[in-house]
Structure 1
Amino acid sequence: MALGTWGRVYLTPDINTLKFATKGLVAMTLSLYLAMEMQLDRPYWALISAVFLQIRPQSGLVIEKGLCQIGGTIIGGGLGVLIMALSMQMPAIALMMLMVWVFICATSSSLTRNFNLTYGFAMGAATAILVVVLTIVNNNSSQGVFDIAVARVSEIVLGATCATLVSMLLWPDRVRYIIHGHANTVIDETFKALTMHLDANISMNDARQQIMSALGQALTLNNDSSAVVYEGPHGPGRARAAYLLSQRALSMMAEMQTYGRLVREHPTLASEAFEDALKDIRDTMERIRSRQTYSERKREINGLRQRIQKAELQRHGTPLARRMAQGLMILLGYASVMIEAHHAINDAENTRLKAPRLSRHRDYMPALTIGIRSSLLFAIGAIIYVSTQWSSGVLMMVMPVIFGTMFASFPSPNAMLKNVMKGGLVGIFAALIFGNILLAQAAHEYIMLVVVFGGPLFLGLMAINNRAVLANGLGFCILYIILTMPSNNMSFNISSFMDRTLAIALGLIILYTVFRIVPSPNALVLRRRVIRATTDDMLQLWERSCRQSRERASDWFNGRMVERVQRLANFDSQLPEEERYLLDLGMTGMNFGHLILANYRRVTSLDNTPDTREALRQWQTALAHAYQACAWGDFDERFTDASQALLKRLREAGEMDDEQIELIEGMVRRLDLTLHRFAKMSSSRDQRDISDVLEQAS
């Protein structure tokens, strides 16, 4: 009988899970020992700090997360002191200022792609809450505020430092090994997507799913590469190579999906020689995926490029067919660079590549929603505290803000919170038995404390190391630690335990309720914002292409598009399978940006006169607006007029030969087909939406 997820975690654990749990337990017991030796007020906060650093335990990631945690803690502590300095005698004003700070931290956390930085913002908000609220609860003086801030910062920094040192010294695991695995996966998934898109016998839906998988892997590679810079002098070189691989993978995906549509919907455009070339590409890509060494992969891709060039596909057939052949060479160029970048990740000592990280598209509407939600969580907790003067209410204010800020940007935050609450429920029972019954009977010594307290913690860490039950393990460990509160002066008071349990449970219930009551913005609104933002970026490409190289402008556009494409794909998954087109629409927008840059470079390299540049600018503007119009179910005729004006201008100028102009004409023809197709699909979908609304109204 097959074991379930929990059975695999605890009945048949792998060696990595056991090592992870052991490292985590060592880090936590070390931080607890030092905190107790230093006579800190609340040593358990050092343990909580160490718990969060166990997520993604590789050395570089732990260092990055530790720096973000320490930075957020110091800033939050300083802000807490400042708030109390301004409003020591006015607690209500202090809480209002604190609510504003929580809003700023939560909003900012959602505008970053780096989860470690998100966690830093969460710690900044939590530390400020602890400093301000504990000062209010204890009626402390100005000196007391400073002491509380120093204690909280010391506890959290101590936990982060211990976790970082243990991660680096005990069974160290390096980010570069993860990056190497990610890079292999990106190449494999992207080349598989190319093979599927160029095979008319494979359904477009299957090819679409494959490209989504490749997109996710490219984004993961880009995000994880930031931490490799902390691993030795060659870390920055590995990071740059990983960024380049991600960028070219995205460029290849943007190019391939359009040709996949043409291969399926316009088979008459392809000659026999073209079909042979497609088969050669598919076969070679499959061989490259099975090759393990750089030299073998490089030999395969170079041989393929030479064979395609010898076929001279760009010199025969209609303008559109020649443009398709040119696109194949572009795809193979991207593949070659991806192989070079993968080699540079492994051989950073002898290879130097340059590439920026993926840019970030920041949609402020969802970010503001997350900020409002987090500040509302704090406000509800503050109102309950002010009304009841409940000393344990600080937990009710801190925990929802931490979890709400960390999980808000996840695709399914409600599901994450459910799992945290399930794990926390088990943690409550464990804290009652081990922290208040068994420890009360044991000798009050550090060794006995670790022996009794560490067993359940080890089991919780085993869950954290498995992605499927990570949220459960995190909820268990956090609540188990907070409710046990290991320290020099532990009290075994069931009424106090129940008081803290009630505060945390109420805070998590409020958190889950607020997430349900204040949902993310409507999907249709977000979809329109994504399309409008894509259009705006396409309009900016003209200015960027004038100021920067084509590669830099392309990289900027890729980074801003990747999350938009993922968001459109999420909207797509909510539609019936036969009506899904939003992913294709997003990838087409990415491809249009690359076409704008390529056409700009191709034309201006031969004809850079003011009249030609103005015709190009008008064509680009018309294409951007036509893309937005087709997303709303309309075809903008201004694109046709601008295209004809551009072709006319190029012919009159005489700087480009007929073959080059025909290639541009083929590109325009392909764009025309694509825009008409999306306009028809979008129009049909809008009509169905209207019919559904009328039917519901009747």
Structure 2
Amino acid sequence: MVYPSARDWLFSVKTFAAAMLALYLGLLFELPRPYWAMASVYIVSNPFVGATRSKALYRALGTALGAAGAILLVPPFVEMPLLFSIVVATWTGTLLYLAISDRTARSYVFMLAGYTMPLIALPTVTDPATVFDVAIARTEEIVLGIVCASVVGSAVLPSRLAPTLIERTDAWFRDAAFYGRETLSGHIAGAAISACRQRLAATVNGLEFLLSQLSYDHTHPQILERAEALRGRMMLFLPIMSSLADPMIALMRDLKVRPPGLDELLADTAQWFGAPLTHAPDSDAQASNAAVDALHARIAALQPGGDALASWQGALLSNALWRLGQMIDIWQDCRALRASISQESATWRPRFRHWRLGGTERYFDRGIMAFSTASAVGAIIVACGLWISSGWHDGAGAVTLAAVACCFFASLDEPAPQVFRFFVATAVAVVIAGLYLFVVLPRVHDFTMLVVMFAGPFILVGTLIPRPQFNLVTMLVAVNTATFISIQGAYDADFLVFLNSNIAGVVGLLFAFLWTRVTRPFGAELAAARLLRSSWADVALTASTQPIADQRNLASRMLDRLMQLIPRLAASDDHRHPSIESFRDLRIALNALDLRRSRHRLTGELPATIDGVLAGVSRYYAGCADRRARQPVPPALMATIDDALGRVTSHAAATTRAVNAEGPAASTALRASQRWLRETRHALVGLRLSLFPAAAGQPPQPASEAQA
């Protein structure tokens, strides 16, 4: 068992102090529900001041928006119960959709506005004249709790987010170093490697939300920019490393060729990958850059030339060395960015420069999002119908907590287990609140004694809130206990009233659990299948003749989708596992985009030859998307790629001879043509290896031989 750390105890004591301050001020100002101020402290508090500030700001905005919605919608619809239920559900569903469309901390504004409106509106339907007073009071109480949490969190030993960013990236570096060493050793499959791949993707996904909170931590804008650059390169690490593995395995395992010096280069690179991370000053950064330059010099020395480059063995070696150089630059950038974020004053210059960097588009499965929203809307309408037909006076509490639960977990693939945890935590909170209300509080005669009675349990529970595995349950226990006790200026407790009002919330959560179990039973399998089909459609787009407005954003969207897909796929030691296949799909798409960019710089029959390759790739992936299943790759496509490789290689050889003949006097256009032909050959080799991994050891056949 891992006991709470000093930081956990500090957070818990600070949160409890802020909660008691909010409760005291709420009682002092005679607010109608001062316990909401106390509960709000536990909702917004975070061990890190930047996260607390961002959540506090967005909770204040969301509460105000939800309160305004209640004031606007209750009076005109209160006499039409069914229509009013639909209006409330539509409001909540619309804002819920906006919330799950935003992966930053800003999404909390929409989420809170979505379920705050029914929290205010539904209990006031029997007395609509009070809706304005209730909305104002709730806003005041929540803002009071927010202010107390922010002030105490910022003033008393504040913890910054930047060190946490370094901690999380260090965990990524450890996994990435292992993954890199295994790949450089020729291992791309296995349960340990697949699990590592999942952790790498999950870490990158988690950083997106963390970075959205970093600006509230008084972080310098330059550090924010570098943190985004670091995440971008972390996302590229997996696909670039996987594209390095293909030619290396084909060369060493299938062809059983080990060019002199390659093993030593790979071993030294793997050792460099595992070098300890440091908060390196500029002098150490210069030494690291010198080591990278030395590795690049060794790569250049191993590059095949002349007739060797025209062979399949030479093409594989050239491709592997090219990818290795990219991987070294990405890794060096990641290390340098980490050091510059840690130091804040360190300089940084990127080594990896590529058109794929800079895209900002993210992938959203709008169909799943719409279905999740519709499920929450349906739950609210059905719960309202049951409440209205039953005539249960306190049934509004059941509807509101059902709405909260459906909103909280709408973005999950399978929300039912988390809703059930919400139900259990709420039931526990009802028991604790009952013990306090009817056993402890009758013996409390002043606020000091109340603080003493609250201190032990709340501080102990608070130490578990920072831990991800306990965060949800412990936060809900603290918030619901504070709410269910319903502290007022004078003790006035009625057991039947307490039982009736709080059982309503438990019943509402039980309904939400059953509803989500029935309407959303699909789990991660459905989401993964939809992600795969969407990725196939985008691969078909990359190889088609359709215009692409921004290739960077298309690549960014595909990479983001892959980062969502990998954690949904179980770890496996299967070489044909969907996670490995998905990396191949992405590599095919990126190689197709490279071909689209280079074909305009080619001459003669080469553009038409490249068009034939792209058309074959596009047809194949369009067929996969249409049939909703991965299909066997048609053998004719390999013949088309082999023919294109032969033609490009012939043109490249002729261009190289011309450059060598002219020497330093060779024209800029001739050298540019040589570069574009080299990149085209790399893309074609990448396509062949990704589409036909089983034929990696089989040299391309000329068109005449293939036809014979």
Shift of 1:485: 0.8
* Counterpart residue number, 1:378: 380
> Higher Cα Rg: structure 1 or 2?
2
The reply on whether 1:24 has 2:15 as its aligned counterpart is yes
- Partner residue of 1:591 out of 557, 563, 587: 587
Helix, strand or coil: the match of 2:435? helix
Q: Percent identity?
A: 17
TM alignment of 1:79-94, pairs within 5 A: 79-94=69-84
- Structure 2: which amino acid aligns with 1:641? T
Shift of 1:99: 0.8
* Counterpart residue number, 2:457: 456
* Counterpart residue number, 1:50: 41
CA distance in 2, matches of 1:292, 1:350: 9
The reply on whether 1:276 has 2:264 as its aligned counterpart is yes
* Counterpart residue number, 1:101: 91
Helix, strand or coil: the match of 1:287? coil
* Counterpart residue number, 1:675: 691
Shift of 1:187: 3.1
CA distance in 1, matches of 2:32, 2:608: 69
CA distance in 2, matches of 1:47, 1:678: 63
Higher relative contact order (CA 8 A, sep 6+): 2
- Contact 2:595-2:683 at 8 Å conserved across structures: no
- Contact 1:73-1:127 at 8 Å conserved across structures: yes
* Counterpart residue number, 1:135: 124
* Counterpart residue number, 2:555: 557
- Structure 1: which amino acid aligns with 2:685? R
CA distance in 1, matches of 2:233, 2:43: 34
- Partner residue of 1:432 out of 419, 422, 434: 434
Helix, strand or coil: the match of 1:421? helix
* Counterpart residue number, 2:315: 319
Shift of 1:610: 11
Deviation digits for residues 10-67 of structure 1, max 9, x if unmatched?
xx4321121111111112112212222222222222222221112x331111111112
Helix, strand or coil: the match of 1:477? helix
- Contact 1:457-1:477 at 8 Å conserved across structures: yes
* Counterpart residue number, 1:152: 138
TM alignment of 1:189-588, pairs within 5 A: 189-200=175-186, 204-232=190-218, 234-264=219-249, 266-267=251-252, 268-289=256-277, 295-296=283-284, 299-300=287-288, 302-311=290-299, 312-316=301-305, 317=308, 318-349=314-345, 351=347, 359-410=361-412, 413-443=415-445, 445-519=446-520, 521=522, 525-538=526-539, 553-554=551-552, 557-558=555-556, 560-573=558-571, 577-578=573-574, 581-588=577-584
- Contact 2:61-2:109 at 8 Å conserved across structures: yes
- Contact 1:46-1:155 at 8 Å conserved across structures: yes
Shift of 1:322: 1.0
CA distance in 1, matches of 2:437, 2:89: 33
- Contact 2:39-2:480 at 8 Å conserved across structures: no
- Contact 2:541-2:618 at 8 Å conserved across structures: no
- Structure 1: which amino acid aligns with 2:364? R
Higher share of residues assigned helix: 1
* Counterpart residue number, 2:667: none
* Counterpart residue number, 1:641: 640
CA distance in 2, matches of 1:645, 1:262: 18
CA distance in 2, matches of 1:410, 1:524: 12
From the superposition, tell whether residues 81 and 18 of structure 1 become closer, same or farther in structure 2 (CA, over 3 Å): same
- Structure 1: which amino acid aligns with 2:227? A
Shift of 1:591: 2.7
- Structure 1: which amino acid aligns with 2:287? R
From the superposition, tell whether residues 387 and 579 of structure 1 become closer, same or farther in structure 2 (CA, over 3 Å): farther
From the superposition, tell whether residues 411 and 45 of structure 1 become closer, same or farther in structure 2 (CA, over 3 Å): same
* Counterpart residue number, 1:35: 26
Shift of 1:614: 7.2
Runs (5+) with no aligned partner, structure 2: 309-313, 351-356, 656-669, 697-708
Deviation digits for residues 418-439 of structure 1, max 9, x if unmatched?
4333333332221111122211
CA distance in 1, matches of 2:586, 2:326: 15
- Contact 2:414-2:524 at 8 Å conserved across structures: no
From the superposition, tell whether residues 30 and 648 of structure 1 become closer, same or farther in structure 2 (CA, over 3 Å): same
Helix, strand or coil: the match of 2:569? helix
CA distance in 1, matches of 2:579, 2:424: 35
- Contact 2:362-2:556 at 8 Å conserved across structures: no
CA distance in 1, matches of 2:622, 2:565: 17
CA distance in 2, matches of 1:305, 1:488: 72
Moved more, 301-310 or 344-353: 344-353
- Contact 2:120-2:131 at 8 Å conserved across structures: yes
Moved more, 190-199 or 564-573: 564-573
- Contact 2:280-2:339 at 8 Å conserved across structures: no
CA distance in 1, matches of 2:417, 2:39: 22
CA distance in 1, matches of 2:93, 2:349: 40
Shift of 1:381: 2.6
TM-score, normalisation: structure 1:
0.84
- Contact 2:602-2:673 at 8 Å conserved across structures: no
- Contact 2:413-2:522 at 8 Å conserved across structures: no
CA distance in 2, matches of 1:49, 1:259: 50
CA distance in 2, matches of 1:432, 1:666: 70
Shift of 1:279: 1.3
- Contact 1:537-1:557 at 8 Å conserved across structures: no
From the superposition, tell whether residues 253 and 293 of structure 1 become closer, same or farther in structure 2 (CA, over 3 Å): farther
- Structure 2: which amino acid aligns with 1:43? P
The count of corresponding residues between Structure 1 and Structure 2 is 656
Moved more, 22-31 or 486-495: 486-495
Shift of 1:228: 1.2
Deviation digits for residues 461-508 of structure 1, max 9, x if unmatched?
122122222222123113212221112244211111111231121012
CA distance in 2, matches of 1:595, 1:127: 48
Deviation digits for residues 83-118 of structure 1, max 9, x if unmatched?
12432432332221001112223333322323x444
The reply on whether 1:664 has 2:662 as its aligned counterpart is no
- Contact 1:245-1:338 at 8 Å conserved across structures: yes
Shift of 1:245: 0.9
Shift of 1:403: 2.6
- Structure 2: which amino acid aligns with 1:281? T
- Structure 2: which amino acid aligns with 1:235? H
- Structure 2: which amino acid aligns with 1:111? S
Deviation digits for residues 229-269 of structure 1, max 9, x if unmatched?
1222x433222211111111221210111332443454225
From the superposition, tell whether residues 516 and 482 of structure 1 become closer, same or farther in structure 2 (CA, over 3 Å): same
From the superposition, tell whether residues 537 and 489 of structure 1 become closer, same or farther in structure 2 (CA, over 3 Å): farther
Deviation digits for residues 376-405 of structure 1, max 9, x if unmatched?
332233123212333322221222222322
Shift of 1:324: 1.3
* Counterpart residue number, 2:147: 161
TM alignment of 1:679-694, pairs within 5 A: none
Give me the CA root mean square deviation: 3.4
From the superposition, tell whether residues 298 and 485 of structure 1 become closer, same or farther in structure 2 (CA, over 3 Å): farther
- Structure 2: which amino acid aligns with 1:161? V
Moved more, 321-330 or 518-527: 518-527
From the superposition, tell whether residues 626 and 146 of structure 1 become closer, same or farther in structure 2 (CA, over 3 Å): same
Shift of 1:329: 0.7
- Contact 1:622-1:642 at 8 Å conserved across structures: no
